[in-house]
Structure 1
Amino acid sequence: MFRDLYTGLIAVVMVLSAESSVGPSNSSSFCTESKECLQFDLLCKAEEYEVRHYSPTRWVSTDAEAYFMGVGAAMAFRRLFQYITGANEEGVQIEMTAPVLVKIPEETKMWEPAIYTLSFLLPSAYQDNPPTPTNDKLYFTDMPDMDVYVRSYGGWMLSVTSRLHAHLLTRELHRVHALYNTSYHYGVGYDSPLKLLNRHNEVWYVSEGDPVCPGPVEKPTEPTNT
């Protein structure tokens, strides 16, 4: 009897955790243009990055081959936008959520195109049973429970700025001897193309093992005259 009760409680906690991973946008200061946003737990915050925990979520994704991240993302965005505006078997309109993820491979060559994966977060109402896309280039991605290293920046998420902030984040992660997935990172955007000011973008690296959470770097103290 106790085992059944315990199992039931665990199941309820798991359901609540899944539901709470997509929630109202008012819970985030930088998620302001959509009704729902990806939720997270802030594990720690250092001077150059923060560590977040994300619960499992479902996304609708598509791949695009391009020489530059911005070009690939634009191609993929068009397909995904068509999906949420009715290009699905049920013909339903799906609310836009935030953020939008771009999976960016680490090893790219200037003379060869790379595969970029763009993903829209499905709203809470469609996390369990999303409508089937009519475009066979779209598919669903189940993001696992994960801890991520995050660096935030403003402006526009372009190929150059995304690579720059990815480099700055990896430099700091190397400094603190953090372990993370080195085969790809995520470019993360929260704003529509029409928003001009106070834009918010992020770079994510998925932690491997326990994340490193050092305190802020202390500045050396000035010598005092005696």
Structure 2
Amino acid sequence: MKRICTICARGGSKGVENKNIRQIAGKPLIAYTLEQAQVSRLFEVIAVSSDSPEILDVAQCYGVNVLIQRPPELATDEAPKLPVIRHCVEETERIVNRRFDIVVDLDATSPLRLPEDIQGAVNLLESQNLGNIITGSPARRSPYFNLVELKDDGVVQLVKPPITAIVRRQDSPKCFDMNASIYVWQRDVVFNAPSVFNQDTRLFVMPESRSIDIDSELDFEMVEFMLKKRQGV
């Protein structure tokens, strides 16, 4: 199998300024994902897509194979994920003159994953010949038990009212939080599927301790604490 790893990191950030290259526990945030991809030894090519020259410079310093300049229309707040991945894959295939079988997209804002998580998600897809894999962790809240929505008239109700009452969260259907850490695709699926969720999409489960996606200053502080603890600092 010919595999490509894409890491798509925009320069702009609303919640945490310049978060992809901000120093966290001693190195730029994106560096953790780059190193995990390298240590996994799964990929013929690791490609970073960005609209930011600073991000691309950091990626080059960490030995990235291919740097992709993302066009402005794919670097807006509204730009969906799939077209960005497709652009990165197509440009990389053009540059290296090679077509890949498997596409693995890693989110730069999820630095707590381990190389073993990447290997596990890829193995799940390849061993069962699936279309795509997403990752997630067991949810603390359940839409059947203690996750509620507020309706326009002010009424509060469960997001998914069960047919029969559930008195313990443990008795509700298993639910998971998507952690946006790892996406694994068959190439044809990533280019033809209308969304992340398809008929044979499967979940690779990761522990909560490796599933925090940095989207706020509080997330950043929590992840930095956990990274330093992992490093023994």
Decide: shared fold, TM above 0.5.
no
Structure having the higher Rg? 1
Q: Which has the higher strand share?
A: 1
Q: Which has the higher helix share?
A: 2
TM-score (norm 2): 0.29
TM-score (norm 1): 0.29
